[in-house]
Amino acid sequence: MPDKQVVVVDAVKHHYQRGLERFPVLDGVSLEVAPSETVALIGRSGSGKSTLLNLIGGLEPIQAGEIKLLGQAIASLNDSQRTKLRRQHIGFIYQSFNLVPTLNVAENISLPLALAGVPSKLVKAKVHKLLELVSLEGRASDYPDVLSGGEQQRVAIARALIHEPAILLADEPTGNLDAQSGRQIIALLQSMVSQNKAAMLLVTHSLEVASMADRALAIEQAGLRNLSDAQLQGHVAW
């Protein structure tokens, strides 16, 4: 039942052009992510993991193939429709946290709802709840650059989940963190995703992180390959 999937990626191709030369990064990639499912994507640097995430998030134009999010073909949407889709159904988390430096913690978390025009009273209540969940109650008025990496990523997670998205696109969320902070963040992510019944597509270099997902996929030679637990054990970490 493909329509019940949160994300359907069908035979997507993508390349980058440098001068006259073409560099294919995705060549007929297909993927489905079900609600509440966590899928890990692993691969070498430059293999196309982030590109796939950006294509699903509507941040990059689709060159060939089709991507459906909640049954809607992204390619058929214009810029403002894609923006609306992101605002309502997608949450992003990045390796470098990407918090808005000019806004404090509470303001950063509230951003997706504020941009959507949700009344501030409602937003405040949600922000308060999320600050508790990510254990940053006392840091609401702090600015991002006074927080540690782990704290910044927790803010990013709260921001990604405040609008209760159907899917969370996490691009190496533990890449800038030490092992222990990384484990804490993944645990937090999984607990929050399961609370929100959201799906998660997680790009990572860490086999440990990948093994915590419901299933893991490897991007190799512009294609996707399922990895079993055994394969994961034997896989070389990138």
Partner 1 sequence: MVATLLAKSSVRFYQKHPLQLLLSIVGIVLGVCIVSAVLITNSSSKKAFALSTDALYGRVNYQIVAPRNINQSDYVTLKKQFPKIKMAPIIEGYVSVNNSVYTLLGIDPFAELELARGGFAFPETIDTKLLHTMLSSDGIVLSKSELQKQQQSQTTTSNNPTYIYIEAGEASFKSPVLGSYPSSNALASQGLLIADIAYAQDLLAMEKHISRIDLLLSDEQRPAVAAALPATLKLLPAARAQQTMQAMTRGFQINLTAMSLLSLLVGAFLIHNTMTFAVLQRRELFAVKRIVGLSASSILLTVLMEALIISIIGSCIGVILGYYLSTILIQLTTQTINDLYFVLHVQQVWLSPSTIVISVLLGLGTSLLAASLSAIQAAQTNPLQARRRSAVELNVRKLLPALMLLGIVAIVLGSGIALIPSQSLLLGFIALMLIIFGYGLALPWVCLHGSRLLKKVAKFIGPVTTIATASIEHNISRTGLAIAALTIAVSSTFGVDVMIGSFRSSVDHWLASTLHSDIYISSPSNVSARADGTLNEQAIDSAKMLPNIRSFSFGRTIKVNTQFGAIDMLALQPHNNDNGEFPQGITLLNAQPEQSWQQFFSSKSVLISEPLANKHNLAVGQSLSVFTTLQGDMAFTIAGIYRDYGTSFGKLTMYREQYIKYFNDSDISAIGIKFEATEGVEKEQIVRSAIAALRDSVRSNNQAIQINANSDIHRESLAVFDRTFAVTEVLRWLTVGVAFIGIFSALLAMNLERTQEFAILRASGATKTQTFGIITIQTFLMGLIAGVLALPLGWIMSQVLIHVINVRSFGWSMQGFIQDNAISSTLLLAISSALLAGIYPAWSLSRRSIAARLREE
Interface contacts to partner 1, rule CB under 8 A: 50-51, 54, 57, 59-61, 79-80, 83-84, 86-88, 92, 94-96, 98-103, 107, 110-112, 114-117, 143, 145-146, 159, 163
- Residue 119, Cβ density class (10 Å: 0-12 exposed, 13-18 middle, ≥19 buried): exposed
Tell the smallest beta-carbon distance from residue 122 to partner 1 (Å): 14
3-state secondary structure of 68: strand
Phi-psi region of 171 (alpha: psi -120 to 50; beta: other; left: phi over 0): beta
**Beta carbon nearer to partner 1, 50 or 216:** 50
**Nearest one of 146, 139, 153, 190 to 168, comparing CA atoms:** 190
**Smallest gap, in angstroms, from Cβ of residue 61 to partner 1?**
8
Residues recorded for the chain: 238
Alpha carbon distance 134, 119 (integer Å): 23
One-letter amino acid at 101 equals P
Give 80 or 226: the residue with its C-beta nearer to partner 1: 80
Q: Which is nearer to partner 1, 154 or 163 (CB)?
A: 163
Amino acid at 207: L
Q: Which is nearer to partner 1, 165 or 182 (CB)?
A: 165
Minimum CB separation of residue 108 from partner 1 in Å reads 9
Shortest Cβ 103–partner 1 spacing (Å): 6
- Toward partner 1, which CB reaches closer, 53 or 216? 53
